[in-house]
């Protein structure tokens, strides 16, 4: 691996500074407080390094290139004065870890909860998340997935505009706050996954290209220039981001990474960046004795990401499955604009319940080409599914959640479908109690021209919406109110319906963790989809019993004869009065029939 970049505190007021700037003629490290400057020494790969004395944690510095321009460190660990200002030396060894017995967990065991640190609580900090760990423990989730925390401009951002991949957002509590959060989570048996962005960097405060060819003109992403993973000088760029990933895992004790939009990590070399990252993560597991997971977000439905090395794969542990969300969302809401035109059929929901991917090589009318390949032979635990996430909620014009779009009964139906499917489930913060505050897109850029570009870009993106809705208050991404309105309302237990939904989620998660729905992952499981009745029926058996799920998305009740002499035992019935419905479980089986109300799910053993 290349030189360790950034400012590494060695103790006794000594710091090893190192930055890759292959075309610079001179590089100096300049200190804000003392005004002193130290010349760095260049090696044959373009790294400029030197150990400097009399530098303590908290000291701030920049790099001066060719005796002219001064810029923050591209591998800065802290930016306390913002993205345009001085980088800060921190001592990674200062935190005394309390999680020595923690060994991590397999992806197959995870119940994931995605959250945005800034809007999860009133304080919007890592400390604020710690205050809510009791809630998460009560709910039953055992893993949190943090949306990106790499330093971004201002104090409000989803995190995908980060420009300092090594620095934890200062307004959230910085590196010290994140480490404290991870320790607190591990103390309560909760794993922590971090969302990282290796396909682009944000536009504001992005000085990395001043140092060298970190970007390439060969490719372009929807968010700007592509990072240079396979062009000239790409070796050092690859190592920059692999070092970053390993820092989060080893230095911050994180349990895994969610890799944003990997289809825009463009690498046509013989050893793809993702495979190299996976191999280096395997080596770290051997070194630390801990389990780490790498989860990819991809819209290609390509199993190469998760297949093992021996079968030509990249060896990642898992990937997000958009197909499951889209199939369920379109059936529940009736929406069919944009990419939703590819979904909306009960047979598609049945296919996704069975094998995750709907588009497994079949033709996509929306994309006008065939998409994906078959996931044959892959365990369900490679696939992460959801019914809401930051993208699918926040990238709606108004940011509405299911609690605003769906009836209460449909919310429970959606939850039952997701949590009984044989994949790794992921909740989006607040969904477990039917949060109605919208989650909208927000930024706090300091560049007026960039703010205008973001505002106009969002409006262009939703032009189709304005054509059909004459009076809509467009949520201004730059407005502080857009951010404040996106925060969770934590008074849900005062609302009987919200509290019942929360308890319904608790029950489903408990059953999921107990393996109550495990038979649905068997190869002998059968799937019946009725388009007219909007019904999905799933059934599987072993030598002891039969597990059946009936998911009624229709507007009429459904009934069928029960052939068993002994009445089946319901595991969960979404329309039960204890979950806020209007039925009793004992009304399910009436005179030899099972009767499932409209917008309800029942899962039972017989």
Residues 291, 255 contacting (CB under 8 angstroms)? yes
In 3D, which of 64, 260, 78 has the Cα closest to residue 161?
260
Q: What is the C-alpha separation between 556 and 388, in angstroms, rounded?
A: 26
Backbone angles phi, psi at 249, to 5 degrees: -75, -45
Which is the catalytic residue, given 297, 323, 342, 432? 297
Which is the catalytic residue, given 260, 302, 323, 409? 260
Residues 270, 234 contacting (CB under 8 angstroms)? no
Let me know how long the chain is.
606
- Our answer to whether residue 590 is catalytic in this structure is no
In the numeric block, which tokens belong to residue 290? 């801990």
Residues 306, 380 contacting (CB under 8 angstroms)? no
Q: What is the 3-state secondary structure (H, E, C) of 293-348?
A: EEEECCCCCCHHHCCCHHHCCCCCCEEECHHHHHHHHHHHHCCCCHHHHHCCCHHH
In 3D, which of 352, 262, 273 has the Cα closest to residue 298?
262
Is 514 in a helix, a strand, or coil?
Answer: coil
In the numeric block, which tokens belong to residue 401? 């959640």
In the numeric block, which tokens belong to residue 329? 């969302």
Q: Bridge-partner residues for 11, per DSSP? A: 14
C-alpha atoms less than 13 angstroms from C-alpha of 519 in its C-beta half-sphere = 21
In the numeric block, which tokens belong to residue 212? 């060298």
Residues 120, 488 contacting (CB under 8 angstroms)? yes
In 3D, which of 174, 187, 160, 30 has the Cα closest to residue 100?
187
In 3D, which of 249, 253, 461 has the Cα closest to residue 338?
461
Residues 381, 318 contacting (CB under 8 angstroms)? yes
- Our answer to whether residue 99 is catalytic in this structure is no
Phi-psi category of residue 426: left, alpha or beta, with phi > 0 → left and psi -120 to 50 → alpha: beta
Active site residues: 260, 297
């Amino acid at each position: 691996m290349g030189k360790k970049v950034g400012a590494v505190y060695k103790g006794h007021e000594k710091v090893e500074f190192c930055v890759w700037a292959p075309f610079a003629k001179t590089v100096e490290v300049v200190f804000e407080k003392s005004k002193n400057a130290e010349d760095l020494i260049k090696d044959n790969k373009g790294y400029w390094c030197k150990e400097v004395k009399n530098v303590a944690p908290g000291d701030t510095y920049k790099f001066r290139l060719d005796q002219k321009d001064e810029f923050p460190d591209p591998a800065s660990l802290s930016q306390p004065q913002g993205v345009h200002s001085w980088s800060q030396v921190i001592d990674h060894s200062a935190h005394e870890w309390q999680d020595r017995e923690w060994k991590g967990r397999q992806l197959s065991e995870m119940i994931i909860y995605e959250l945005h640190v800034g809007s999860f609580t009133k304080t919007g900090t890592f400390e604020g998340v710690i205050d809510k760990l009791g809630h998460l423990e009560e709910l039953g989730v055992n893993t949190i997935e943090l949306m990106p925390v790499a330093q971004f401009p201002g104090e409000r951002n989803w995190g995908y505009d980060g420009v300092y991949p090594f620095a934890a957002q200062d307004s959230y509590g910085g590196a010290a706050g994140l480490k404290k959060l991870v320790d607190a989570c591990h103390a309560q048996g909760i794993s922590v996954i971090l969302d990282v962005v290796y396909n682009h960097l944000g536009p504001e405060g992005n000085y990395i290209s001043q140092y060298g060819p970190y970007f390439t003109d060969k490719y372009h992403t929807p968010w700007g220039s592509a990072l240079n993973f396979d062009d000239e000088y790409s070796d050092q760029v690859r190592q920059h981001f692999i070092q970053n990933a390993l820092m989060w895992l080893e230095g911050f004790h994180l349990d895994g990474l969610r890799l944003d939009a990997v289809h825009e990590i463009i690498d046509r070399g013989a050893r793809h960046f993702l495979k190299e990252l996976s191999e280096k993560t395997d080596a770290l597991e051997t070194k630390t004795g801990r389990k780490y997971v790498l989860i990819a977000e991809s819209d290609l439905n390509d199993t190469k990401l998760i297949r093992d090395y021996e079968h030509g794969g990249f060896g990642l542990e898992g990937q997000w499955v958009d197909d499951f969300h889209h199939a369920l969302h379109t059936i529940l809401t009736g929406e069919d604009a944009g990419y939703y035109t590819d979904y909306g059929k009960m047979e598609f929901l049945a296919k996704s319940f069975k094998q995750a991917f709907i588009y497994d090589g079949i033709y996509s009318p929306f994309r006008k080409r065939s998409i994906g390949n078959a996931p044959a032979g892959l365990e369900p635990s490679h696939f992460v599914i959801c019914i809401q996430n930051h993208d699918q909620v926040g990238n709606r014009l108004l940011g509405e959640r299911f609690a605003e779009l769906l009836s209460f009964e449909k919310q429970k139906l959606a939850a039952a479908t997701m949590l009984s499917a044989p994949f790794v489930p992921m909740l989006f913060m607040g969904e477990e109690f039917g949060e109605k505050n919208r989650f909208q897109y927000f930024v706090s850029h300091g560049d007026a021209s960039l703010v205008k570009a973001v505002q106009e870009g969002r409006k262009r993106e939703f032009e189709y919406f304005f054509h059909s809705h004459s009076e809509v208050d467009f949520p201004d991404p730059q407005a502080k109110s857009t951010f404040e309105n996106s925060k969770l309302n934590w008074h849900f237990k005062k609302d009987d319906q919200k509290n019942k939904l929360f308890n319904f989620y608790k029950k489903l998660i408990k059953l999921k963790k107990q393996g109550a729905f495990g038979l649905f992952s068997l190869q002998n499981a059968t799937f019946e989809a009725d388009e007219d009745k909007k019904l999905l029926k799933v059934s599987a058996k072993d030598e002891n019993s039969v597990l059946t799920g009936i998911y009624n998305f229709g507007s009429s009740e459904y009934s069928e004869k029960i052939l068993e002499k002994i009445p089946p035992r319901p595991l969960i019935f979404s329309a039960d009065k204890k979950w806020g419905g209007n039925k009793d479980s004992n009304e399910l089986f009436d005179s030899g029939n099972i009767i499932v109300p409209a917008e309800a799910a029942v899962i039972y053993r017989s």
